[in-house]
């Protein structure tokens, strides 16, 4: 119930104004968001790199309403790639296709995606296409297939274990040797297409992780769940997989202790670093995943 309410609030403009306008919520916001401009984000990136971790940089935004906004987002991402390359930083970004105009026109979205991935490929970089809510799953995968055919080494996809269809999608991605980031899923979905119980999502995630470790192409195991981390560690200890065959991924600001511990143990540890002014929907989804943060936020709002 709480998660459903927070997911609804992610699209509520009145709540967005309240959260944005409250000084007291700022400590929690900066915990999850690396800054509102690229310079701020790069400060955090250098700090992460100094701790022997890697990053993927995400300029926040989704569901743009005009072609002008979509083109501005594409241009901004090209600028991010150029800046990362010029400063000899890891050229690794994550993008959402609705930010590039998927709600408006698939052909122009494709042209923007092809330009961005092509620029990253020229730099030896990598672009991860984030997965959004279920209305976009098939359209996202369709565009991913096209761009993967052109730049297989430089583009990857995200799959969500909560969706029933992921069992089939995962096998397709394994067959085409695509790099998959596997997540549990952060969107509110109907029971007709997604597991309604957390235990079932966890079980699906476990199956998907084991399958990717067995047959995937450098999968990204994206989780903060210590039971899942222990599962992967066990696979390494048993000799079924080596640490150079996959990487862990975690969100900026979430379980920094675990991030550092994994890096210290010699695992590849990549941090998903979001920044930008369009942070509110992302922020609310992070609250939905961690109830303790909800109560902190509510206390601050009541005090304000």
For the annotated catalytic residues, the residue numbers are: 130, 181
209 CB-near residues (< 8 Å, 6+ apart):
182, 219, 221, 223, 228, 231, 232
231 CB-near residues (< 8 Å, 6+ apart):
206, 209, 210
Residue 54 and residue 92 in contact, taking contact as beta carbons nearer than 8 Å:
yes
81 CB-near residues (< 8 Å, 6+ apart):
91, 93, 116, 119, 120, 123, 125
Between the CA of residue 2 and those of 6, 226, 297, what are the distances in Å?
6, 23, 14
**Distance (Å, rounded) from C-alpha 304 to C-alpha 294?**
15
**Distance (Å, rounded) from C-alpha 300 to C-alpha 283?**
15
Residue 247 and residue 270 in contact, taking contact as beta carbons nearer than 8 Å:
yes
What values do phi and psi take at 100, rounded to 5? -95, 5
Cα-to-chain-centroid distance, residue 206: 19
> Which H or E element spans position 220?
strand 220-222
């Amino acid at each position: 119930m709480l998660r459903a309410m927070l997911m609804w609030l992610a699209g509520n403009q009145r709540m967005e104004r309240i959260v944005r306008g409250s000084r007291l919520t700022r400590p929690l916001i900066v915990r999850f968001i690396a800054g509102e401009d690229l310079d701020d984000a790069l400060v955090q990136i250098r700090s992460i790199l100094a701790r022997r971790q890697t990053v993927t940089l995400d300029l926040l935004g989704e569901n743009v309403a005009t072609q002008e906004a979509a083109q501005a987002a594409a241009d901004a991402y090209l600028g991010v790639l150029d800046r990362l390359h010029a400063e000899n930083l890891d050229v690794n970004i994550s993008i959402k296709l609705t930010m590039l105009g998927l709600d408006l026109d698939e052909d122009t979205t494709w042209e923007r995606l092809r330009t961005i991935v092509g620029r990253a490929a020229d730099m030896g970089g990598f672009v991860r296409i984030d997965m959004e809510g279920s209305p976009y799953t098939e359209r996202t995968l369709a565009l991913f297939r096209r761009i993967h055919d052109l730049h297989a080494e430089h583009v990857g996809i995200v799959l969500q274990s909560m969706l029933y269809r992921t069992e089939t999608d995962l096998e397709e991605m394994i067959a085409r040797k695509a790099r998959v980031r596997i997540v549990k899923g952060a969107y509110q979905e109907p029971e007709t297409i997604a597991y309604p119980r957390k235990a079932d999502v966890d079980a699906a995630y476990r199956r998907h992780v084991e399958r990717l470790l067995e047959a995937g192409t450098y999968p990204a195991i994206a989780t903060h769940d210590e039971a899942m981390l222990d599962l992967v560690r066990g696979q390494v200890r048993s000799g079924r997989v080596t640490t150079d065959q996959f990487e862990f991924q975690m969100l900026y600001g979430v379980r920094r202790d675990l991030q550092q511990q994994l890096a210290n143990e010699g695992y590849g540890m990549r941090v998903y670093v979001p920044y930008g002014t369009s942070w509110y929907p992302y922020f609310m989804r992070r609250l939905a995943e961690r109830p303790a943060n909800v109560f902190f936020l509510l206390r601050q709002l009541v005090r304000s």
